[in-house]
């Protein structure tokens, strides 16, 4: 009998992803699905999908799900987790969603120490709407609304969300990871799993920021986009644990 070394996670449905070829969203969905299965909590998990390319995430995770108004996933998650404290609740949010229109919701969810998990996908752009500049767009990065490149003089420097969230006293666990190669994918999975372990152990608010790409919005091939994460994104967005107040899970 052949040994199966890897197969599609049963934490995902049979619906094909609607993401563009090579988009990091798919990779990140897989890590979440695998983590929920390995922790044996898939059946009691509830996903909160955002507005953005992952608006249809409820079609892809093989668990209950709901889709929130733009940026409001943490508010919806708060309500669900407080009513159903035994469920495993997570939001899945892009940088337009979390770091722009939804900054109030994410900050105050962490401030209240809500016991749910946030997967924050930072691809430095508004993918779904056609590649507009986000608060996370790099300096000099060209987007459809910064055709000459982002300028600090008019739009400031890119927002460092993990660094900011780590300052919130009631936040428990904040880590920034990347998915641009197999070593980083493995590390990202560890972080995502740990965030869920903390929630299972009632340790409070956890957020994993995943540095991601948007090959279409960045106007490059998927292979070049993954390399650009390493060459351009990570130097500005250092990876690592920004806060861990949970001890061993």
Which positions touch ligand TPP (CB under 6 A)?
A: 51-54, 70, 94-97, 101, 123, 125-129, 134, 214
Site size toward ligand SF4 (CB under 6 A) is 12
CB 168 within 8 A of CB 107: yes
* CA dist list (Å): 161 to 99, 120, 142: 7, 9, 21
Binding of other proteins at residue 52 (CB under 8 A)? no
Q: Name the residue nearer to ligand SF4 (CB basis): 88 or 233.
A: 233
Using CB under 8 A, which residues numbered 181 to 220 contact other proteins?
Answer: 181-182, 185-186, 215
Write down the least CB distance from residue 123 to other proteins, Å. 13
Taking phi first (over 0 means left), then psi (-120 to 50 degrees means alpha), and beta for anything else, what does residue 22 get?
left
Which three-class secondary structure state does DSSP give residue 20?
A: coil
Q: Which of 230, 186, 224 shows the shortest CA–CA distance to 211?
A: 230
Which member of 72, 81, 226, 243 binds other proteins (CB under 8 A)? Answer: 226
Q: Name the residue nearer to ligand SF4 (CB basis): 158 or 215.
A: 215
CB 49 within 8 A of CB 27: no
Contacts of 9 (CB under 8 A, 6+ apart): 30, 33, 34, 37
Binding of ligand SF4 at residue 98 (CB under 6 A)? no
Structure tokens at 147: 């055709």
Write down the least CB distance from residue 118 to ligand SF4, Å. 18
Which member of 55, 128, 138, 171 binds ligand SF4 (CB under 6 A)? Answer: 128
Q: Return residues touching other proteins (CB under 8 A).
A: 2-9, 12, 16-17, 19-27, 30, 181-182, 185-186, 215, 221-223, 226
């Amino acid at each position: 009998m052949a040994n199966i070394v890897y197969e599609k996670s049963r934490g995902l449905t049979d619906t094909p992803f609607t993401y563009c070829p090579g988009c990091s969203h798919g990779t990140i969905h897989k890590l979440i699905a695998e983590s929920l299965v390995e922790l044996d909590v898939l059946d009691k998990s509830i996903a909160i999908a955002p507005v953005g390319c992952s608006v249809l995430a409820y079609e892809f995770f093989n668990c209950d799900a709901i889709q929130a108004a733009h940026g409001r996933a943490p508010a919806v998650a708060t309500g669900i987790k407080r009513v159903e404290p035994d469920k495993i609740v997570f939001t899945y949010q892009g940088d337009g969603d979390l770091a722009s229109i939804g900054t109030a919701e994410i900050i105050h969810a962490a401030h209240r120490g809500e016991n749910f998990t946030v997967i924050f996908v930072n691809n430095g752009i508004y993918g779904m709407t056609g590649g507009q500049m986000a608060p996370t767009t790099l300096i000099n990065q060209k987007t459809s609304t910064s055709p000459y490149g982002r300028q600090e003089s008019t739009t400031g420097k890119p927002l460092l969300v993990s660094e900011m969230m780590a300052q919130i006293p009631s936040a428990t666990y904040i880590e920034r990871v990347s998915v641009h190669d197999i070593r980083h994918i493995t590390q990202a999975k560890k972080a995502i799993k740990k965030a869920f372990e903390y929630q299972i152990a009632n340790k409070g608010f956890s957020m994993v920021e995943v540095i991601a790409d948007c090959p279409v919005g960045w106007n490059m091939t998927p292979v070049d986009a993954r390399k650009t994460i390493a060459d351009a994104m990570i130097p500005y967005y250092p990876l690592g644990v920004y806060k861990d107040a949970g001890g061993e899970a």
